[in-house]
């Protein structure tokens, strides 16, 4: 994906590609590689040059507030079509939604059952990955239609864990 991003007011050309857990970026012609895993909506665990960082990304209108390594940046995607496609913050999802595992791991806790009512961003599962426990949250308010994973089960990235109607 190619984007033009304004970061703290300076425009950057960014190319991003993901291969497995590896994220490869080229920023203004300079390559950068990192292992990045989404651990919750808007929160990423990043391993870069042997350093572990937590990145938090929050939508603020058409901009992003990015906090990483104790520093904060304000970003704005210059291609609004790419922004709308990749945006995951702010508005609540609509219609039937599948909740998928964002990373491979083991289900250590199932917090809901079929028929339960849930609120947007309510915890549904706790997945252990890379010795960290991560809460998987509901993308919308609604009713749990199906639970497709159980405690102790090993899951793969992208595997559907539940359906929210």
Per-residue confidence (pLDDT) for residue 85, from 0 to 100: 41
Q: Kindly indicate the confidence band of residue 91, based on its pLDDT and cuts at 50, 70 and 90.
A: low
Q: Give the pLDDT mean for 78-100.
A: 60
Listed in sequence order, the residues at least 6 apart from 76 whose beta carbon sits closer than 8 Å to its beta carbon are 5, 6, 62, 63, 64
Q: Is the dihedral of CA 122, 117, 97, 86 positive or negative?
A: negative
Which of these ranges, 21-25, 32-36, 126-130, has the smallest mean pLDDT?
A: 21-25
Q: Kindly indicate the confidence band of residue 109, based on its pLDDT and cuts at 50, 70 and 90.
A: very high
Per-residue confidence (pLDDT) for residue 161, from 0 to 100: 95
Cα dihedral 150/133/126/123 (nearest 10): -170
Full set of structural domains in the chain with CATH: 2-86 (3.30.700.30), 97-164 (2.40.50.100)
Higher pLDDT, 14 or 124: 124
- CB atoms near residue 35 (< 10 Å): 14
Higher pLDDT, 158 or 115: 115
Percentage of residues in the chain with pLDDT exceeding 70? 84
Quote the tokens at residue 162.
Answer: 């539940």
Maximum mean pLDDT: which of 27-36, 79-88, 102-111, 127-136: 102-111
Instruction: Express each pLDDT in 26-77 by its tens digit.
Output: 888 888 877 777 788 888 888 877 788 888 888 776 678 888 878 888 888 7
Per-residue confidence (pLDDT) for residue 11, from 0 to 100: 85
Listed in sequence order, the residues at least 6 apart from 17 whose beta carbon sits closer than 8 Å to its beta carbon are 1, 23, 24
Percentage of residues in the chain with pLDDT exceeding 90? 28
The pair phi, psi for residue 84, each rounded to 5°, is -65, -40
- CB atoms near residue 16 (< 10 Å): 15
Higher pLDDT, 94 or 45: 45
Q: Kindly indicate the confidence band of residue 130, based on its pLDDT and cuts at 50, 70 and 90.
A: confident
């Amino acid at each position: 994906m190619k984007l033009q991003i304004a970061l703290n007011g300076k425009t950057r050309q960014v190319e991003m590609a993901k291969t497995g857990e590896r994220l490869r970026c080229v920023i203004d012609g300079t390559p950068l590689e990192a292992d990045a895993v989404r651990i919750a909506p808007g929160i990423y665990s990043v391993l870069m040059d042997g350093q572990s960082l937590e990145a938090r990304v929050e939508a603020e209108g058409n901009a992003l507030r990015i906090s990483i390594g104790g520093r904060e940046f304000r970003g704005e995607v210059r291609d609004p079509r790419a922004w709308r496609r990749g945006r995951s913050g702010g508005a609540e999802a609509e219609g039937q939604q599948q909740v998928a595992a964002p990373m491979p791991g083991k289900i250590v806790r199932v917090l809901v059952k079929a028929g339960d009512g849930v609120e947007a961003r309510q915890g549904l599962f706790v997945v252990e990955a890379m010795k960290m426990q991560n809460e998987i949250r509901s993308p919308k308010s609604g009713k749990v239609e199906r639970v497709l994973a159980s405690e102790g089960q090993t899951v793969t990235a992208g595997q559907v864990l539940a359906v929210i109607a």
